[in-house]
Amino acid sequence: MEFPSQLLYAHDQILLAIMIFVIMLGMGSSLTVDDFKAVARSPRGVFIGFLSQFGLMPLLALGLSILLGLDPAFAIALILIGCLPGGTTSNMFAYFSRGSVALSISMTTASTVVALFMMPILLNLYTVRFTSQISETMRAAGAESDFVIPTGNIISSLVLVLLPVIMGMILRKKSPGWAKTAEDTAGFVAIMVILYLILTAFVRHGGLFLQTPIQVYLATIGIGMAGFFFGYWFSRLLGMYPLFQRAISLETGIQNGPVSFAIILLSFNEPVQSQMLWLAILYSTFIVMTSSVITLYFRKKGKFDWDVYKNTQIHNRLFGREYVTNYPKDFLPQRLKNDPSQGTSPAQKRG
Amino acid sequence: MQKPKNERIAADNLADLYQKAAERFDSLPAFATREKSLKWKPVSFRELYEQGLDLASGLIELGVKARDHVGLFGDNRFEWILTDYAIQFCGAADVPRGRDVSDSEMEYIVGHAGIKVCFVETEVLQNRLLRIKERLPDLQHIIVLDHNARVREGVLKLKDILNTGSSLRNSGDRRVFDRIKGIRPDDLFTLIYTSGTTGRPKGVMLTHENIISQTRNLPGIHNPNDRILSVLPIWHVFERVIEMYTISFGGCTYYSGIQTLGDDMINVEPTFMASAPRLWEKIHEKIIKGVKASHPVRQVLFHIAYFLSKQYRVSEAFLKNKNLQVKKKSWWGSAVLYPFHLVRWLIVLPWFGFFNAAVLERIRLSAGGSLAATISGGGALPIHIDRFFNNVGIPVLEGYGLTETSPVISVRPKLNLIVGTVGPPIRDTDVRIVDLETRKVLFPNKDLPDGGRSMRGEIQVRGPQVMAGYYREEELTRNAFEDGWFRTGDLGMITHNNCLKILGRSKATIVLSSGENVEPEPIEMRLQQSQYIDQCMVVGQDQKSLGVLVVPKQEAFTHNGTPAFSISELAQNSEAKRIIRHEIRRLISASSGFKGYELIRDFRVLDRSFRVGHELTNLFKVKRHVVTEEFSDAIEDLFQNGTKKKI
């Protein structure tokens, strides 16, 4: 397949860089030092989330690449997506899906830090078969060196993206009002820019949508959906309660798209760069749609256990930490009855 | 996973409901009292029930008989509901009024209802009642609710009766259970005296079946996870019914107040509440103020979000057939509009989704965020407020009813939210529309096009919630009914998607948004004493204050040196306006015997006089609904600009 190189012009790249900066600044604006401390307070949830994000998700990406027989460049991009940390979008979706926002924030924070060393390791581990394929093609075309994953560059790009996050955190501390604005604007900017990229791609390379193999569409939609599905049941298997299941599910499926843009632009070159970027753009577009649908579904499905959780939480807030809420016998299903944080809030101990 | 449960206890009477709630919900909180913003004191269903039995036993010992009328003057607090429990357990009925009851009302009510035992909330009320006690020979005992009050000699304390009852029950007194068994569905549970500016207060007799039917028929899915904030006065039947309804599904009622409401909404995160238009106006004001004070970027975001939401919801309502349908939809109109709304809906959807989540959710959080629905009653909700909350995504379920219908007749269910209407009648309730002059039934009427939908007339109701009558007022009771249907005195119609729409009053009485009832005739008669005023009509239904429409007397102005060729010319004349303003101020004042809320705040001079056969009957009586309709622009203008300047 003849894939157009130079998917983005120079000024698009600048635009994308600004967008990444704004989004990461917005992400930082929503974080406080307390969020890092909170990770230590709920280590179990964060650990299960970690397993789901860095254990499950890259494997799913690898599986999908092999299953769908993706082009090596696309496959590498998909695995890259699979290894990304979570973004702040997942916190918003966790909120609306009646999941634990606290856990979602903790997972985002923890995964962003852990990604610094987990991403290069995983990427090298899972992309071996695809890099060698590319090397062969390149050597056949007369190139002298092998294609390698630019590990050093990836780490420095990650550090570079983390700078605006830290700036955002400082902003939040100095001026909460501006931080709120930055947070709100970031989400809006992200959507605008993704739309812009899609539209320009459409205008400049009209045939691109048709040229893109169906497998790429399936992969970009499927990776998110698979993340939601396996994240949900994996955490259930490890004994998480619905509220946390929903947060882990969304955190697993929703990755920090802007980070992947930064890494692809800063660390990879043609002939793979445009293809990788295209897959990342497609993923970022579809994930907004699929997570909206999943969120609406979770919201409906989780209404009852959320109401129980909320009501007991408010009882403790207003009547004191020692207050115990006893629902009528047949009111709670067995699963919620045993739940230390749902049928009762953590402080509520049953005799 | 589990679906939300709809818990609702089926009971025969209130005492039965209280008993069953204690069995089913046991240690769950039933009522909570605020001590500090984050410190509330809960009382469980079981505790309330046991204390209620104690108090009832004490009251029986004191001499309260079954079917007695027991006075209960006070505002929302735990002791109020406890006393209500006890009175119901005795098989008696309460006669409630708020702390703001006037001495003369108190005297009339205690005398008319034949009250022998009367509860008062505070020390002040105790003193006021004692001052008029010698004119009330039947009144034997006064009991004070407030534990900290200094009681006078001969006055009892709630606590003492509780203690007496408790020791009686400990020594085997079972009389209270016989009383509970003896309650019949048509026994009164309350006798509510409605205030009127003219004439005496009327005692509305409401039975156990009346209120139990409401807990059975109100729409909604509720269970013990619900939290209800109580702000409206408990002696109004609307708040009372919501509290009883809450008991029936095991929710907890949190006593709030106007001062602490904003704070409490955020801390309690209510899921449901009874509210009044005034409350929503206040919240609306606060939200707008908050938006105006926010960062310019966020203001812009809010306006974008609000605009998108409006587009989205209007199209959604159209597509789901949930728009206001005063006129019948024509098929060709729908054929044109349907694709338009479908396309607009699809285009707006993703944008609305984003802004709804990112911007409007913050606005919703100012009302606690968990508010699934709130029933607004006790006056019409101004349409712009109604639209605002609907667009922001806080479902305000406007309802309609009167004390005489205990009170809910119809309400907009959450899934059938048609802005501009008060929803379809609730279960087991029939509504008909009767022509004001011919007394012909307009709806339901098979002979009329569309069965009589969109025909205007008086709203009449039949159902289990309609009162037994006015206490010791047989003639008034007879006049309140027509062929067994209760006459609401309101003007309305049924829309083409079967919702009730209120159009005004067929009776002259004006109800202000503060809840005061004003009879316009005495004010109008007084105004017509002026040589400059030919005709006039007082307006102000659901407004904060009164206004008046004036037709000037042309000759009088000519004599006075302000000649004009026509009334419409006078309407423009500033000198004429000045004179009329002076006249209104002179005639309607506190010194001429009018109450504060009866004073006229603003007026409009009309450009033509009322015509016989149109605005006037053959007997020259003003047809209020016709004037309201004909001069709707002037009235709207009056209340939009009128709030700024005062006469």
Least trusted range by pLDDT, from A201-210, B280-289, B542-551: A201-210
Q: Which of A188, A292, A301 sits opposite B1 (nearest CB)?
A: A301
Radius of gyration of chain A (CA): 21
pLDDT band at B519 (very low <50, low <70, confident <90, very high): confident
Report yes or no: A270 at the B interface, CB cutoff 8 Å: no
Amino acid (one-letter) located at A219:
A
The whole-chain average pLDDT of chain A stands at: 86
Domain containing A344: what range? 302-351
pLDDT band at A3 (very low <50, low <70, confident <90, very high): low
The answer on pLDDT for B453 being more than 60 is yes
Q: How far is B263 from chain A (nearest CA, A)?
A: 13
Q: Is residue A282 within a helix (H) or strand (E), and if so which, with residue range?
A: helix A273-301
State the number of CA atoms in the 13 A half-sphere of A89 facing the CB.
Answer: 29
Instruction: Name the residue among A42, A342, A17, A309 with its Cα closest to residue A163.
Output: A17
Q: How far is A181 from chain B (nearest CA, A)?
A: 7
Residue B612's DSSP bridge partners are B616
Domain ranges of chain B: 14-27+45-215, 280-370+383-391+404-505, 510-641
Token duo for residue B379: 């006056």
pLDDT band at B197 (very low <50, low <70, confident <90, very high): very low
Scanning every residue of chain B, which has its alpha carbon at the shortest distance from the alpha carbon of A302? B1
Least trusted range by pLDDT, from A161-165, A223-227, B110-114: A161-165
Residue B611 CB coordination number (10 Å): 10
pLDDT band at A117 (very low <50, low <70, confident <90, very high): confident
Instruction: Name the residue among B9, B29, B32 with its Cα closest to residue B21.
Output: B9
pLDDT band at B94 (very low <50, low <70, confident <90, very high): very high
The whole-chain average pLDDT of chain B stands at: 89
Secondary structure class of B318 (helix, strand, coil): helix
Number of domains chain A contains: 2
State the number of CA atoms in the 13 A half-sphere of B234 facing the CB.
Answer: 28
CATH C-level class of B280-370+383-391+404-505? mainly beta
B156-157 vs B141-144, strand pairing mode: parallel
**What pLDDT, on the 0 to 100 scale, is given for residue B110?**
96
Over residues B406-435, mean pLDDT: 89
Give the separation between CA A268 and CA A255, rounded to whole angstroms.
Answer: 19
Tell me, yes or no, whether A228 and A333 share the same domain. Answer: no
Instruction: Name the residue among A73, A77, A103 with its Cα closest to residue A90.
Output: A103
Is it true that the peptide bond before A328 is cis, omega within 30 degrees of 0? no
Tell me, yes or no, whether A310 and A226 share the same domain. Answer: no
**What pLDDT, on the 0 to 100 scale, is given for residue B643?**
47
Tell me, yes or no, whether A342 and A268 share the same domain. Answer: no
Contacts of B32 in chain A (CB under 8 A): 318-319
Decide which of 3.30.300.30, 3.90.1150.10, 3.20.20.370, 2.40.50.320 is the CATH code for B510-641: 3.30.300.30
Tell me, yes or no, whether A89 and A140 share the same domain. Answer: yes
Tell me, yes or no, whether A320 and A212 share the same domain. Answer: no
- CATH code for the domain in which residue A290 is found: 1.20.1530.20
pLDDT tens readout for residues B43-66: 999 999 999 999 999 999 999 999
pLDDT tens readout for residues B3-29: 567 889 999 999 999 999 999 999 999
Instruction: Name the residue among B450, B458, B409 with its Cα closest to residue B430.
Output: B409
Q: How far is B358 from chain A (nearest CA, A)?
A: 7
B252-255 vs B533-539, strand pairing mode: unpaired
Tell me, yes or no, whether A268 and A343 share the same domain. Answer: no
Q: Is residue A5 part of a domain?
A: no
CATH architecture of B14-27+45-215: 3-Layer(aba) Sandwich (3.40)
Tell me, yes or no, whether A193 and A329 share the same domain. Answer: no
Tell me, yes or no, whether A255 and A180 share the same domain. Answer: yes
B39-44 vs B69-73, strand pairing mode: unpaired
Instruction: Name the residue among B521, B535, B566, B549 with its Cα closest to residue B637.
Output: B549
- CB-CB under 8 Å, A311 with B227: yes
pLDDT band at B512 (very low <50, low <70, confident <90, very high): confident
Token duo for residue B171: 């020594």
**What pLDDT, on the 0 to 100 scale, is given for residue B16?**
97
Residue B36's DSSP bridge partners are B39
Token duo for residue B250: 């095991």
For residue B37, the Cα-to-chain-centroid distance in whole angstroms is 27
Q: Provide the b/e sequence for B150-173 (b: ≥16 CB within 10 Å).
A: eeeeebbebeebbebbbebbeeeb
**What pLDDT, on the 0 to 100 scale, is given for residue B17?**
97
Secondary structure class of A204 (helix, strand, coil): helix
B500-505 vs B485-494, strand pairing mode: antiparallel
B540 near B547, Cβ under 8 Å?
yes
Q: Which of A96, A302, A310 sits opposite B370 (nearest CB)?
A: A310
Tell me, yes or no, whether A252 and A319 share the same domain. Answer: no
- CB-CB under 8 Å, B357 with A96: yes
- CB-CB under 8 Å, B354 with A331: no
pLDDT band at A139 (very low <50, low <70, confident <90, very high): confident
Give the separation between CA B479 and CA B471, rounded to whole angstroms.
Answer: 14
- CB-CB under 8 Å, B29 with A307: no
Over residues A164-176, mean pLDDT: 88
- CB-CB under 8 Å, B295 with A180: yes
State the number of CA atoms in the 13 A half-sphere of B191 facing the CB.
Answer: 26
pLDDT band at A318 (very low <50, low <70, confident <90, very high): very high
**What pLDDT, on the 0 to 100 scale, is given for residue B190?**
97
Contacting A with CB below 8 Å, chain B residues are 1-5, 7, 24-29, 32, 38-42, 223-227, 250, 254, 267-269, 271, 295, 297-298, 301, 353-354, 357-359, 361, 370
The answer on pLDDT for A351 being more than 50 is no
Instruction: Name the residue among B546, B547, B584, B580 with its Cα closest to residue B562.
Output: B580
Q: Is residue A138 part of a domain?
A: yes
Tell me, yes or no, whether A179 and A273 share the same domain. Answer: yes
pLDDT tens readout for residues A215-234: 999 999 999 999 999 999 99
Provide the total of helices (H) and of strands (E) in chain B, helices listed first: 22, 27
pLDDT band at B380 (very low <50, low <70, confident <90, very high): confident
Q: Is residue A2 part of a domain?
A: no
Tell me, yes or no, whether A329 and A235 share the same domain. Answer: no
B213 near B407, Cβ under 8 Å?
no
Question: Is the Cα dihedral B74, B80, B86, B90 positive or negative?
Answer: positive
Q: Which of B25, B225, B295 sits opposite A181 (nearest CB)?
A: B295
Q: How far is B218 from chain A (nearest CA, A)?
A: 21
CA dihedral of B163, B169, B170, B171, whole degrees rounded to 10: 110
Report yes or no: A308 at the B interface, CB cutoff 8 Å: yes
Q: What values do phi and psi take at B519, rounded to 5?
A: -90, 120
Q: Is residue A3 part of a domain?
A: no
Secondary structure class of B457 (helix, strand, coil): strand
Secondary structure class of B398 (helix, strand, coil): strand
Tell me, yes or no, whether A291 and A309 share the same domain. Answer: no
B396-401 vs B408-411, strand pairing mode: antiparallel
Contacts of A177 in chain B (CB under 8 A): 295
Least trusted range by pLDDT, from A95-104, A180-189, B120-129, B343-352: A180-189
Q: Provide the b/e sequence for A261-284 (b: ≥16 CB within 10 Å).
A: bbbbbbbbeeebbbbbbbbbbbbb
**What pLDDT, on the 0 to 100 scale, is given for residue B82?**
97
Token duo for residue B309: 């939401």
pLDDT tens readout for residues A8-64: 777 788 888 888 888 888 888 888 888 777 777 778 889 999 999 999 999 999 999
Q: What one-character DSSP code corresponds to residue B452?
A: G
Over residues B91-96, mean pLDDT: 97
Q: Is residue A4 part of a domain?
A: no
